[in-house]
Structure 1
Amino acid sequence: MSRTTRLIAPLAAVSLLALAGCASGTDAAAGGAELGSEENPVQLGVVGASDPYWEVYEAAAEEEGISLEIVDFTEYSQPNPALTAGDLDINQFQHILFLAQYNEESGEDLQPIGATAIYPLGLYSDKYDSPEDIPDGETVLVPDDATNLARGLLVLQSAGLIALEDGGSAYSTPEDIIEEESRVNVETVAADLTLTSLPDVAASIANNDYVTKAGLDPESAIAVDSASDESALPYVNIFAVRSEDADNEVLNRLVEIYQTNQDVQDGVLEVSGGTAVLADTPAEELQASLADTQEAFAASK
């Protein structure tokens, strides 16, 4: 099989967006050919097309009669504007929170049509084997950067260690902790200090990058966010399309192929070091979560 992957670098992306219809699968230049045909391949934007499972995925799509061209971007800021401009038919590189911020800031209406995986944020301890074992009044650390801070608080709430005002959101802060309903004290530190400080506290929230650097097994986390937990939905990675294409049969079939092809799923797990939690959350739930997250983002401004 001959595989075509286009790399869009920052300057090239500007040129791409300036050229009307040069890559759009729905452009009139395709001569009205059906989307997914050889004459009009689906343009899928990603960041990191060198991951081996993308080639497996492309082959699986072709076996289903869908011609697919993977467009590789070098920066996360690029695939959504390219999709908005019609230079892509679909993209897959972001979670709902990222898309919500893009939609709110740009005034656009890109929509998720399928989930891929959530890359868990974990709670680690060298003293306790489960959140239930942590005594009341102990201290737990969370990273102080905005995204991981809110997400870490949601993990602690899901683990039964704290309670957050209004159930928490992707924009929660320590000020939202309901002290009288919480079992532990929460302190914030720089992300790279959460695990180095572990001997001094009951537990720490840490993302996979720092877990690996600390020589810990990601599977040793005593709690992680789950794709089935509503509070974790904003962090589920998704396929996104323009709103008018949300019901497109070819694009939705591509989601099904990703979610059901075992070789693709195994490849995603391998690249993540076994930490990805594969997800098949229905599009309706993803879209509802996007609406809620956009509302929370607007309210946080």
Structure 2
Amino acid sequence: MKKLLLVLLVGAIGLSLFTGCSAKGTDDKTIVVGASPTPHAEILKVAAEVLKEQGYTLEIKEFTDYVQPNLTLESKELDANFFQHLPYLEDFNVKNGTKLVSAGAIHYEPLGVYPGKIKTLDAIGDGTTIAIPNDTTNEARALLLLETLGLIKLDPNAGLAATPKDIVENPKNIVIKELEAAQLARSLPDVDLAVINGNFALQAGLNVDKDAIAKEEKDSLAAKTYANIIAVRAGEENSPKTIALMTALKSDKVKTYIEQTYQGAVVPMF
């Protein structure tokens, strides 16, 4: 009887170990990525087809804000995320004590100035209201675009940390309205103009090449500085999952999809 119990026990342990290894193996081939719905999750769905050929399953979790994807990655609920540029990630790390890094740039979304109550730059007059993103790096980026258009002048020392307080010349007394990036497209009926991030413009059915009256140019410093990246936890930049994900995202299939689908609203950086 004791021998029978021992055999059963050993068998149960062996089955448990076998099952555990199987689950671990499956987990090693599943990549969980957090992303903004447009265009990031859409691009990832194409990358998923490439990853499938490599034996990986890509699980995409969509987020509609700029905070939770990083917190969820830090807490190890994700393997990576895809929604932000490097200046935003670096600022987020400083403010939140996270240790996230870039695994590489994938695409660039030109920031555009979209018409609200007024339809052209020539119509900008005294007291024109322009809405811009209120998060640190995108706010500075929007202000730099307005400076490039000759509408304001910023303190040259402000750089990528510029806020409306750093405006040193404002000849047309432009009123800067700071809003959550996700709310900018909805604000268009209530403001004269709005500077909108590429992904939120796309979600609102806007195309930077067709609908914006001004934009960042693809050969500008902004294109390199604000390219959207894959973020991972520090030390996992060269993990098998990260390498597989980056290879898939930089494939010809994904590049063709980006160019044909977004027609200039999203520009591949590879």
With the length of structure 1 as denominator, give the TM-score of the two structures: 0.59
Percent sequence identity is: 24
Counterpart residue number, 1:245: 236
Residue 152 (1) aligns with residue 142 (2): yes
Compared with structure 1, are the counterparts of its residues 268 and 53 closer, same or farther at alpha carbon in structure 2 (3 Å cutoff)? farther
Counterpart residue number, 2:90: 100
Counterpart residue number, 1:164: 154
Compared with structure 1, are the counterparts of its residues 267 and 177 closer, same or farther at alpha carbon in structure 2 (3 Å cutoff)? same
User: Is the 2:36–2:82 Cα contact (8 Å) retained in structure 1?
Assistant: no
The residue type equivalent to 1:257 in the other structure is A
The residue type equivalent to 2:56 in the other structure is S
Question: Structure 2: how far apart are the matches of 1:112 and 1:173?
Answer: 25
Question: Structure 1: how far apart are the matches of 2:230 and 2:203?
Answer: 27
Counterpart residue number, 2:252: 261
RMSD of the alignment, in Å? 4.2
Query: Which ranges of structure 1 fall in alignment gaps of 5 or more residues?
Result: 1-28, 199-203, 282-301
- 1:171 Cα deviation after fit: 3.6
The residue type equivalent to 1:243 in the other structure is A
Question: Structure 2: how far apart are the matches of 1:39 and 1:145?
Answer: 38
Query: Which ranges of structure 2 fall in alignment gaps of 5 or more residues?
Result: 1-19
SS in 1 for 2:235: helix
- 1:54 Cα deviation after fit: 3.2
Aligned with 1:41 (options 22, 29, 49):
29
Residue 205 (1) aligns with residue 194 (2): yes
Structure label with greater radius of gyration = 2
SS in 2 for 1:88: coil
User: Is the 2:86–2:227 Cα contact (8 Å) retained in structure 1?
Assistant: yes
Aligned pairs for 1:192-231 within 5 A: 196-198=190-192, 204-207=193-196, 218=208, 219-226=210-217, 228-231=219-222
- 1:115 Cα deviation after fit: 2.1
Counterpart residue number, 2:58: 69
Counterpart residue number, 1:277: 266
Residue 175 (1) aligns with residue 173 (2): no
1:84-110 deviation digits (Å, cap 9, x = unpaired): 344433222333354234312332221
Compared with structure 1, are the counterparts of its residues 268 and 260 closer, same or farther at alpha carbon in structure 2 (3 Å cutoff)? same
- 1:43 Cα deviation after fit: 2.1
User: Is the 2:105–2:228 Cα contact (8 Å) retained in structure 1?
Assistant: yes
Counterpart residue number, 1:296: none
SS in 2 for 1:142: strand
- 1:242 Cα deviation after fit: 1.6
- 1:79 Cα deviation after fit: 3.4
Counterpart residue number, 2:17: none
| Number of residue pairs aligned between Structure 1 and Structure 2 | 235
Counterpart residue number, 2:131: 143
With the length of structure 2 as denominator, give the TM-score of the two structures: 0.64
Counterpart residue number, 1:89: 79
- 1:253 Cα deviation after fit: 4.7
Residue 123 (1) aligns with residue 144 (2): no
User: Is the 1:90–1:239 Cα contact (8 Å) retained in structure 2?
Assistant: yes
Counterpart residue number, 1:113: 103
